[in-house]
Amino acid sequence: MTDQVKIKGLYIIVVWDGEETEALAVTAYDMKEAKETAIQQIKDGRAEENDEEPRIDDRYSFEVTCAGDKNGNVYDVDLSLQR
């Protein structure tokens, strides 16, 4: 049995915080972790106390696996850790 290497993906997570929305690009091993990371980033970035829990908008949250250019070329999205 071989060990599979877990690779992080790039996710765009849209979060409602009260009446405001914000789209965050986060890296995670799966969508669940990406949503948790986005919620935590919103909470950490608040300027004032707020007891309301931020909400994920699943309609506009997704994993980015590839991207295209104006010429119709498609590129894989590969992440590398900056050191």
**Domain range annotation of the chain:** 9-76
Answer with the residue of higher pLDDT: 62 or 81. 62
Q: What is the chain's mean pLDDT, rounded? A: 92
In this predicted model, what pLDDT tens digit does every residue of 33-66 receive, in sequence order? 999 999 999 999 888 877 889 999 999 999 999 9
Tokens 């295209």: give the residue. Answer: 68
* Confidence bin at 2 (pLDDT 50/70/90): low
Res 11: pLDDT: 98
* Residues 23/12, Cβ–Cβ less than 8 Å: yes
Res 4: pLDDT: 73
Res 80: pLDDT: 86
Which among 11, 65, 2 has a CA at the least distance from the CA of 33? 11
